[in-house]
Each structure stands twice: as C-alpha cells, then as structure tokens.
Amino acid sequence: MKKEDFLSSRQWRYATKKFDPDKRVTAESFELILEAIRLTPTSYGLQPFKVFAIENTGLRQALREAGFGQSQFTDASHLLGFAHLEAFSEELIDRFAGLVRDIRKPEPEKIEGYASFLKNLFGSWTNDQKSRWADKQMYLALGNALQAAAELKVDSCALEGFDVEKANAILQLPEGLKVSAFLALGYRSTEDQTQHLPKVRVAHEDLFVTL
C-alpha cells in the first residue's frame, strides 16, 4: 500500500462542526461502523461499555440543549452515545468466559483459570478504579469508530462538551452506565468553514521519543 493511500483518510477527516441535515449515511456504512466498534480490541477482551444509537428526534434535541446548543447533536445523520460501566461484577467476566467457551472451545480448566485470575484482579479494585479503566476501554472503541468512518468517507465529530448529568438523565441509562462521549456521523455542510483549515499537529520530532 502506498503511503498516500494509507494516510489519505486520516488527512481527509476533521472534527465536523456543521453537518448537512439533508444527507443521510447509508444503512450499510452505518452497520460497518458499528461492526468496527464491536471489533475494537479492549483490555482482557471484556468490552466494559455499551453504545447507544440515538434515533429519537426529541432525545437528540434535548441532548443538544444539554450540549450547549451544539448543532451536531441534531443535524448529523446518526448519533451514537458511548457509555462505560461505572462498576461491574463478576458477571462481566462470566460473559467473556462464556463467549470464549462457545467460540474457541478451549479445555475447561484453561478458561476457568483465566476467569479466576480476572475475578481476583478486579475483586481488589474500587468502583472508581473500575470506572476509570472502563472509560479508557470505551475510548478505544470511539477512536476505532472515528477511523472507520473516515475510511468510509463519512464525516464525524466526537462530542465531549455536554452536561454529563443531564445527558444521562435524558437517556435514562440503566444504573451503572455513564455516557461520557457522543459521536455524530453524517456529511459536512458546504457552509462549514472548518473543513478548509489545515491540520494542526505537533511535529514528528516533538511527539515521538526513541529510547
């Protein structure tokens, strides 16, 4: 693969500030982005988060108000809410162990030993430690979604500027889940002047250190 081809989608994407509300992402492209999220690698493979596809226009308008009027909440074709587990029990580990049994069919003692290791590890963590760890895993999925969208030439904007308590109340999430980021997906408006700005990134030598 040529360097230009590899970097093209990364150069093309930007944080879209103004979406064209009349342009819709195809069902196929949206499903591909969701699958990219599902395939995101996470620590221990536990995937301690959920992603909500928010289609209800009333909810999206309320989220716009909680997001200080940012138009991306309502004008983008699709809106995803990324919520991480604030706390979790051994059920999360049992879910993973069950999937491993069904898909890989390992020797029982191997997966039982791994599950015991995880239960001992997380059993010593506070709920605050679990929440911060789960939030980090969730952001891996968000990053994967951003790149998947770019490869499909779907514009996107990650949204963190919102009243978290209000957003969670609006979505009426189950206890133990906390939304900490949204992802707007759609197509840029011709009126969005941000698309014409050159990227601003630190120089290679300022970012990377060889030891």
pLDDT the model gives residue 98: 97
The answer to pTM > 0.85 is yes
Q: How far apart are CA 136 and CA 62, in angstroms?
A: 26
pLDDT the model gives residue 2: 78
Q: What is the mean predicted confidence (pLDDT) over 123-142?
A: 98
| Average pLDDT across the chain, whole number | 97
Given a cut of 90, is residue 75 above it in pLDDT? yes
Task: Read off the pLDDT of residues 27-62 as tens digits, 9 standing for 90 and up.
Answer: 999 999 999 999 999 999 999 999 999 999 999 999
pLDDT the model gives residue 184: 99
Angle at 153 between CA 151 and CA 157, to 5 degrees: 95
Task: Read off the pLDDT of residues 159-204 as tens digits, 9 standing for 90 and up.
Answer: 999 999 999 999 999 989 999 999 999 999 999 999 999 999 999 9
156 CB-side CA count, 13 A: 25
pLDDT the model gives residue 120: 97
pLDDT the model gives residue 148: 98
**Which is nearest to 162 in space by CA: 87, 40, 57, 74?**
74
pLDDT the model gives residue 81: 98
| Secondary structure of the chain in HEC code, one letter for each residue | CCHHHHHHHHHHCCECCCECCCCCCCHHHHHHHHHHHHCCCCHHHCCCEEEEECCCHHHHHHHHHHCCCCCHHHHCCEEEEEEEECCCCHHHHHHHHHHHHHHCCCCHHHHHHHHHHHHHHHHCCCHHHHHHHHHHHHHHHHHHHHHHHHHCCCEEEEECCCCHHHHHHHHCCCCCEEEEEEEEEECECCCCHHHHCCCCCCCHHHHCCCC
**Which is nearest to 187 in space by CA: 52, 12, 39, 32?**
12
Given a cut of 90, is residue 116 above it in pLDDT? yes
pLDDT the model gives residue 4: 76
Q: How far apart are CA 201 and CA 72, in angstroms?
A: 24
Q: How confident is the model at residue 3 (pLDDT cuts 50, 70, 90)?
A: confident
Given a cut of 80, is residue 1 above it in pLDDT? no
pLDDT the model gives residue 34: 98
pLDDT the model gives residue 28: 98
Superfamily of domain 3-83+138-193: NADH Oxidase (3.40.109.10)
